[in-house]
Amino acid sequence: MPKKARKESRYERQILLKEWDQQKIRNGKVFIAGMGALGCVVALDLVLMGIGKLIICDFDTIEKSNLSRQMLFQESDINKSKVTVAQKYLIDLNPDVEIIAFNKEIQEVNPKIYEESDVIVDGLDTFEARRWLNSISVDKNKPLVHGGMYGWLGNVQVVIPFKTPCLDCQPLLPQERLQKPCTPPGKKRKKTKKVKKAPKMPSLLTISTIIGGIQAQETVKLILGVGKLLDNFLFYDGLSQTFTLMKLNQNSNCIVCGKNRIKGVDFSVDPRDTVRDLKDRLIMTLDIKEPMKVIVKGIIRNDNVKLNKIGIQNKESILIINKEMAKPLKIYAILHEK
């Protein structure tokens, strides 16, 4: 049998779908952030369907508790890099697919990689990293397929930049328990960074299979340009076996995808305040997290410096940087005195 015929026979059942275009799938490029329970499911689905190029990124190593729900790993892989092991396994499953692996944090990946991707998939386990991924997706104008899970519960949201609400538009910020990672950082990260050990989060393979499967399906629909994309927040409860769709609205004042992203944000400032006072108000009003850097007149300012000592002027621009945003936020100081 000719080589081309052998390749086509692998996909002959999905090719039977009238909406299917295997060439579009073959030309597709997908970036998956996180190779945990959700990332493994999405990667497996896309590779078996013949996605042309899959980019996987994770900085963690495999531990024993991963084996009950992360289907690309086995016991002999413990302490090895997740993306290295996943890359080899996925290539063995389907050598037609190009697999690129980055054993690093998503913030360290060259921005061009995100620009070249057709879809970005969120398989992360901390909201801090998710907010950064949401920010880079909007900045590069790339669809983001977000997924999350906690025990019997799961959720999915598709972000089409400037057309649907992004993660920062929505009021559905997680409670403290949902911001904890599924597992503590891998050994390589422990050696290179000081990270507080967080409690492990309850997780089930059945939930990750359902949520990851929906994420993979939405990704394929985006690449094919078919069907109705998920335009609401989908919440799944495995105990009651129910799906709930919640309407989300775009926030025109969103600091990531709203009008303020382009022109900057007017922000009321008392010139007698310190930089620390400014940071505290940014945390309360715009939900910007620490660590945060405040740049005034091109210099990163210390917390105890008073703004009037810097010589801040009305409408002067101030840049705010933190690790949840892919690019600095610009605010304009509207001076007043209390």
Question: Is the N-terminal amide bond of 165 cis, ω within 30° of 0?
Answer: no
Which positions are catalytic?
182
The 10s digit of each residue's pLDDT in 100-126 is: 999 999 989 999 999 999 999 999 988
Region of 151 (left: φ > 0; alpha: ψ -120 to 50; beta: rest) is left
pTM passes above 0.75: yes
Number of other residues whose CB lies within 10 A of the CB of residue 122: 28
The 10s digit of each residue's pLDDT in 77-94 is: 999 999 999 999 999 999
Which domains does the chain carry?
3-246 (3.40.50.720), 264-335 (3.10.290.20)
Task: Locate all alpha helices (DSSP H) within 22-159, ordered by sequence.
Answer: 22-27, 37-48, 82-93, 111-116, 127-139
The 10s digit of each residue's pLDDT in 181-220 is: 455 455 555 444 444 555 678 889 999 999 999 999 999 9
The 10s digit of each residue's pLDDT in 21-60 is: 999 999 999 999 999 999 999 999 999 999 999 999 999 9
